[in-house]
Amino acid sequence: MHELAARLLATGIRPGDISRRIFDTRPFGAVRLFGEVLGRARLEPAAAGRGLVWTFATLDDLARHHQRPYVLEALIDSVRCTAEADVSCVVKQVAEGEWAVSMRSKGGVDVSRVAVALGGGGHRFAAGFTGRGTVDEVVDRIRAELDGALID
């Protein structure tokens, strides 16, 4: 792999430029969308007081800002930096009554246990699942699983 990377670098590509274009560039509509979705974020003392911060985005949000669903993948990074919460969660609508859920943990909760219990997967610090029902019902199911996923 290192030899392949060296060969690619020898072509003159600029990894920094490529990285910025992929990870640090968004349409202005996505920035507006993030602002709206982050504005509805909630912080709760779930997970035995370790904290849960969560927000959600609907298909109407995407349409209103003329964005495609993939732009929401980066939103979890903005949510997980909340100091008061070990667990962060972004619930993204994919169809009527269907939600793609991304979860992250700073180490106090095994979010893969939560995801597996709810039909998904992942690893200890990053996991997800597909939830059905209303956003409140999906988040209620997450809350119900958090205490059973504590790491100590």
Cα distance between residue 130 and residue 152, in whole Å: 27
On whether residue 10 sits in a domain, the answer given is no
Evaluate if residue 67 carries a pLDDT over 80: yes
The better pLDDT of the pair 12, 84 is held by 84
Pairing of strands 98-105, 126-132: antiparallel
- What pLDDT score was predicted for residue 22? 66
Cα distance between residue 139 and residue 152, in whole Å: 24
On whether residue 7 sits in a domain, the answer given is no
Residue 83 confidence class, pLDDT cut points 50, 70, 90: very high
Evaluate if residue 20 carries a pLDDT over 80: no
Cα distance between residue 145 and residue 129, in whole Å: 13
Q: Is the pTM of this model over 0.75?
A: yes
On whether residue 46 sits in a domain, the answer given is yes
On whether residue 83 sits in a domain, the answer given is yes
**Segments forming the whole domain that contains residue 38:** 28-149
On whether residue 3 sits in a domain, the answer given is no
- What pLDDT score was predicted for residue 70? 93
Number of structural domains (the chain) is 1
Residue 66's domain is classified under what CATH number?
3.10.310.30
Cβ-proximal residues to 116 (8 Å cutoff; 6+ apart), any chain: 127
On whether residue 21 sits in a domain, the answer given is no
Are 133 and 91 within 8 A, CB to CB? no
Are 43 and 52 within 8 A, CB to CB? yes
Mean pLDDT of 62-88: 96
The two structure tokens encoding residue 80 = 């997980």
Mean pLDDT of 4-32: 82
